[in-house]
Amino acid sequence: MTGLEVLVRDAEVDAVKPPSAASQAAPAADDIDDIPLYAPRRKIYPQSVHGFFRRIKWAALFLTLGVYYLLPFARWDRGPNAPHQAVLIDFPNRRFYFFPIEIWPQEIYYLTGLLIIAALVLFLMNAVAGRLWCGYLCPQTVWTDLFFAIERWVEGDRREHMQRDARKWTAQTWARKGLKHFLWLMVAWWTGGAWVLYFADAPTLVKDLATGQAPFIAYAWIGILTFTTYALAGHMREQVCLYMCPWPRIQAALTDEYALNVTYRYDRGEPRCSVKKAEQLRSAGAPAGDCVDCLQCVHVCPTGIDIRQGPNLGCIQCGLCIDACDNVMAKLSRPTRLIAFDTDLNIKARMEGKQPFYRLIRMRTVLYAAVIVLVGGIMVFTLATRDSEGISVIHDRNPMYVRMSDGALRNAYTIRIVNKQLKHRDFILSVDGVPSSLIDFIGLPPRADGRQLIDVGPDQTREVRVTVTDYATTAPAPSTSILFSLIDVATGEVAQMRDHFFGP
């Protein structure tokens, strides 16, 4: 049997029967409440396919999963006083490490910047070529693709799998199903395992997990993520894209007529008919479309839709139907890209005998790109120039001030000093704004040389309590702005913070 005959037989097997007159009748008003909100689920058996977009999908899968599974084991030498894991979310010490960058809790605005950039990149992708994120990079797509590959490896490709499912299940069928679910669970388990490795030293945690010495929370998270990965990628699959994910709805509102989408070029494909009929029509000088209705584009679709029916919320723009159709066209010696990344505007232009046009540089793409560059630039600049020391001041509220027996006024403050460098540092604290004032440290013994140095450990913070006493004889203002200065003794670097000195 030739490849073409297989295609034609596939089409015959899967040809959808036209709806009967009864089923086409409009529902009576009383029946409307009985119409289900969701279509009954149809099991999808996506067929394997080879081609350009499939290769891109494999590359994206290996790259994203490779990064996810292996990144926790990447090392980065930060010296003796910091962890050596390149990417680490260190909850106990409240730090996030990303290669040379260390983010403190008070710098969480960098996360806001990253989220803004991520959202804008998504919008830009959408403006250029639709749901590229969904088709190639979304975790749901990537893991489902991996689970499909395992399923095909164990249960065979579409035809074999469908036939086996339709027959009475034998011991071999059960064995194959068991093996598939076991492999799915192994992938899901390793997915959960990789996740927890981002929160502790990975090699140590792997050892602790294997010997049962890891904290309970690590096992709990592995269990939760094993379950969610297995359920979402193994069982719910396209249902997540069709019903659970909000992005298709948002994306539809953000797109415009110039965005490239996976499009069936009906100007070329219609009227569709069988290969034989098309040959007869062409030899008779009658029009015949290039689509031979083989349904290969439907068979490979991971969400089970027919792109020939037009834009569809279920289309994740993976491009696999393009590969499938290109293979058919190649076998028929017809030009490829009957399905392609294109626009309806171009189809209409071709039908009117005009040249298709692609407008990638438009107001919205330029705007998205500009904001990405701007936010990214601000983040890089602030990261490169941020201080390695910091000071925060909290004024005592109760009492706001104390009148001393000699008439002086005293205010008390709690001062937190931040040392972001990975070495010990000595600081001096001074205050300006209240003439004739003295600063005293509570609980810190004065040093012999008279200088009150505050020693802060590497990559640590230190809290000190101080009082500022105003010995001036003139009546003080109810509130005076004062400036605390923190000076690194070795380098002279300064961090400052304003507060107030209160009087009666």
Beta bridge pairs of residue 98: 87, 101
Q: In angstroms, how far is the first alpha carbon of the chain from the final one? A: 101
Nearest approach, Cβ of residue 207 and ligand SF4 (Å): 42
Nearest approach, Cβ of residue 89 and ligand SF4 (Å): 34
> Is 466 exposed, middle or buried (CB count within 10 Å of its CB: 0-12, 13-18, 19+)?
buried
Taking contact as CB under 6 A, which single stretch among the options 170-178, 313-321, 377-385, 463-471 is the one that binds ligand SF4? 313-321
d(CA 393, CA 416): 7
Residue indicated by tokens 């904001």: 371
User: Taking CB under 6 A as the criterion, which residues in 262-291 touch ligand SF4?
Assistant: 262, 269, 291
Return the number of the residue (305 or 417) whose C-beta is nearest ligand SF4.
305
For the chain, how big is the Rg over CA atoms in Å? Answer: 33
Taking contact as CB under 6 A, which single stretch among the options 22-30, 106-114, 145-153, 315-323 is the one that binds ligand SF4? 315-323
Nearest approach, Cβ of residue 3 and ligand SF4 (Å): 12
> Is 306 exposed, middle or buried (CB count within 10 Å of its CB: 0-12, 13-18, 19+)?
middle
Cβ atoms of 342 and 14 within 8 Å: the answer is no
Binding ligand SF4 (rule: CB under 6 A), the pick from 122, 127, 225, 316 is: 316
Binding ligand SF4 (rule: CB under 6 A), the pick from 200, 288, 292, 466 is: 292
Return the number of the residue (127 or 320) whose C-beta is nearest ligand SF4.
320
User: Taking CB under 6 A as the criterion, which residues in 234-263 touch ligand SF4?
Assistant: 262
Binding ligand SF4 (rule: CB under 6 A), the pick from 47, 303, 346, 419 is: 303
Nearest approach, Cβ of residue 46 and ligand SF4 (Å): 8
Taking contact as CB under 6 A, which single stretch among the options 58-66, 207-215, 316-324, 349-357 is the one that binds ligand SF4? 316-324
Return the number of the residue (218 or 301) whose C-beta is nearest ligand SF4.
301
User: Taking CB under 6 A as the criterion, which residues in 35-74 touch ligand SF4?
Assistant: none
Q: Say which DSSP state 256 is in.
A: -
Taking contact as CB under 6 A, which single stretch among the options 311-319, 356-364, 376-384, 489-497 is the one that binds ligand SF4? 311-319
Binding ligand SF4 (rule: CB under 6 A), the pick from 128, 138, 320, 468 is: 320
Cβ atoms of 394 and 420 within 8 Å: the answer is no
d(CA 259, CA 344): 10
Taking contact as CB under 6 A, which single stretch among the options 82-90, 227-235, 299-307, 489-497 is the one that binds ligand SF4? 299-307
Taking contact as CB under 6 A, which single stretch among the options 161-169, 309-317, 357-365, 432-440 is the one that binds ligand SF4? 309-317
What phi and psi values does residue 90 have, to the nearest 5 degrees?
A: -100, 90
Beta bridge pairs of residue 96: 89, 103
User: Taking CB under 6 A as the criterion, which residues in 324-363 touch ligand SF4?
Assistant: 324-325, 328, 338-339
Residues counted in the chain: 504
Q: Does 486 bind ligand SF4 (CB under 6 A)?
A: no
Taking contact as CB under 6 A, which single stretch among the options 99-107, 166-174, 208-216, 323-331 is the one that binds ligand SF4? 323-331
Return the number of the residue (237 or 308) whose C-beta is nearest ligand SF4.
308
Residue indicated by tokens 């790109």: 369
Nearest to 317 by CA among 334, 302, 336, 328: 302
Q: Does 125 bind ligand SF4 (CB under 6 A)?
A: no
What phi and psi values does residue 442 have, to the nearest 5 degrees?
A: -85, 125
d(CA 112, CA 130): 25
> Containing H/E element for 250?
helix 247-254
d(CA 261, CA 259): 6
Q: Does 315 bind ligand SF4 (CB under 6 A)?
A: yes
Question: Which stretches does DSSP call E strand in 286-408?
Answer: 339-342, 389-395, 402-403
Residues near ligand SF4 (CB under 6 A) are 262, 269, 291-297, 300-303, 305, 307-308, 315-321, 324-325, 328, 338-339
